Amino acid sequence: MTATDEPTLAELQEAAASQQTAAAAAVGSAYISACPGAGKTHVVATRHLQSPAQPLRSGRALISFTRVARDQMARRCREAGRSDLVLAPHFIGTFDSFLWDFLAKPLRPADPAPRLLESWAGVKAQVKLDRTVSLGQMQLTLNITGDSVQECVAWDLLDSDTQRMLNSSNRSRNQWEQAVLAARNAWCRRGYYTGHEARYLALRNMRSAEKAQWLLPPLKSRFAEVIVDEAQDCSGADLAILELLHDAGLPLVLVGDPDQAIYAWRGAEPKALQDFARRISAREIPLTGNRRSTPVICRLASTLRAGPRPPDIAVVRRDLIPVAVFPTRFAPKGGQHLHATSANTVIEAFRDHAQQHGIAADQCLLTAHKYATLPGASRERPGANPLTTLAWAHSVVHTPGADANHLTRACATAARALIGYWFPQEASSPEGICADLGIPVSRLHRTAFAFLYDLPTPHPGWSSDVWQAMKAWPPLPGAAPQGGKGRLAGTPTIPRATADIGMRTAIVHQVKGDEADAVLLFLPDADTVQRWTTCDPSTDEQLRIWYVAVTRARRLAALAVPEDQAAALTRFLAAREVPHQIR
């Protein structure tokens, strides 16, 4: 094919638009497989915006796994002048909130009022045997076998600190599991639940003919269809619930990309979604036009994808910036990785390379699979002592341009500390306490932010400073401190300080749905190239994680690899006809 035979961008865009139109207009249950940058949020919103202003029969449920996606869909409706599509009988929300609102909460006792928590960290939930651990540290999972649904502790998913503590315990795992379930059940009796309990209750309710007869008629009369965005993130329990809804007569539209399934720890597997999609619909509607990345990045991404499919079609960009491979001498701390062919760090080398292509530092993204590989503020460590968690929160509010989600969690951390001192006898969540006092939660969070920001920099004796600040800080109305109750004791693990590099940093699981002009993916492991060239992405989640990372890039994708692997990687890229250069 000569250059004149190649389709123009206008022709490619028209073809991609036709795919979107077909997906938005599909009737009945369907599976929409969307490549990165295919505009699936646009398709979902367009499908919803086609609803009549006065619904003839019922509404539509749009559900996703993140609040960001939820807010994007709602914003699209409002921007189009269709605020009615955000209100009942329609529903736009997260998967957890959908299960809770329609399949779990309706059959919960009204007293005490049932509340859905983001996690057990929102309340003072503890498990006590010969050790004391936070209930939030003991992640539960569901095992589904036929008609049986069993809850158990996901032992292999516990953080290292919790595992070490349990290994030193004189109690068996079975005893700990029974204690965890007993503690959890006690909190449920007080009206508190998390997303795990919402799934467990939804499955049990839907599998009970007596309970389902109360839940299904309102659902079927309210919703003409349910659209599941990011369907590749569905766990086995999620798919089991969706299958029950489909079998009950609710049409399902699944929108997702199995190549971006990166939550195997939650039970999300690409093959499970594809098998389920085939059961509910014989139709797969592909979206293969990539409106985000260049042809080079599309070709790079295809090397990390299962099956012999051709690269996705870049329909907006024609830049041909080669993939940049940076031979790197990795250090234990992310900010100190050295560029093997210069005297700079690899971060500086990447920034300079991006600038040569007209890409500013604030349009660059640094990402990796693990926090330890990245520069930036310390991460929030599950299971850390409360003082260490507060020190992390302090580092967040003092970090310029800190992530909004991190700021929210930082304020919640400080709020829990203050509430623990002001209301030592209350075990409920800060939100529950605020509701009882008639105080907006936003007031508590503003107080918590100011308190946190005013604290001195963490140091080994920080506990005393925090305690003095807690006693001096103006309390909420109704506060009743009791001596030393609520004091955060111990020595904090002090977050390491890093220089402002002017670029965003986040692990891959945090950048899903994000994009940047230039993306640098850190690949520090010694088996990186062997894994890339020999493993199957359909069974190896690590490759799917890398796939998500490189497809965040709009113009430039860069890879930092151990210096002794750079040559092997470039040979592989050359064999796959991916334009590249060693930097």
Q: Is 34 annotated as a binding residue?
A: yes
Instruction: Report d(CA 165, CA 134) in Å as an integer.
Output: 12
C-alpha dist (Å) from residue 429 to 111, 252, 466? 17, 35, 21
**CA 382 remoteness from chain centre:** 16
Cα 88–chain centre separation = 27
Nearest alpha carbon to residue 405 among 66, 62, 98, 93 = 66
- Backbone CA torsion sign across 84, 89, 95, 101: positive
Give the single-character DSSP code of 399.
Answer: S
Residue 257 in tokens: 């990309």
At position 530, the amino acid (one-letter code) is Q
- 35 labeled part of a ligand binding site: yes
Please give the single-letter amino acid code of residue 259: D
Phi, then psi, of 314 in degrees rounded to 5: -75, 115
In the beta sheet, which residues pair with residue 287? 34
Picking from 55, 532, 583, the residue whose alpha carbon sits closest to that of residue 328 is 583
Nearest to 42 by CA among 68, 15, 72: 72
- Rounded (5°) CA angle 330-163-148: 115
d(CA 349, CA 363): 15
Count of other CB atoms within 10 angstroms of residue 357: 13
Kindly state the tokens that stand for 422. 């002001």
Nearest to 441 by CA among 115, 65, 194: 115
With beta carbons less than 8 A apart as the criterion, state whether 222 and 185 touch. Answer: no
Distant-in-sequence, close-in-space partners of 549: CB < 8 Å, separation ≥ 6? 367, 508, 511, 519, 521
Describe the chain by its helix, strand, coil percentages, rounded to 5: 50, 15, 35
Residue 395 CA to residue 402 CA, distance in Å, equals 9
Phi first, then psi, for residue 394 (nearest 5°) are -60, -40
| Pairwise CA distance, residues 275 & 219, whole Å | 25
**For residue 176, which of 140, 203, 216, 214 has the smallest C-alpha distance?**
140
Cα distance between residue 559 and residue 542, in whole Å: 15
Establish whether 38 is an annotated binding residue: yes
Pairing of strands 338-339, 364-368: unpaired
Q: Is residue 271 part of an annotated ligand binding site?
A: no
- Amino acid code (one letter) for 93: G
Beta strands in 437-573 (DSSP E): 504-507, 516-522, 553-562
Residues at the binding site are 34-41
Binding residues for ATP: 34-41
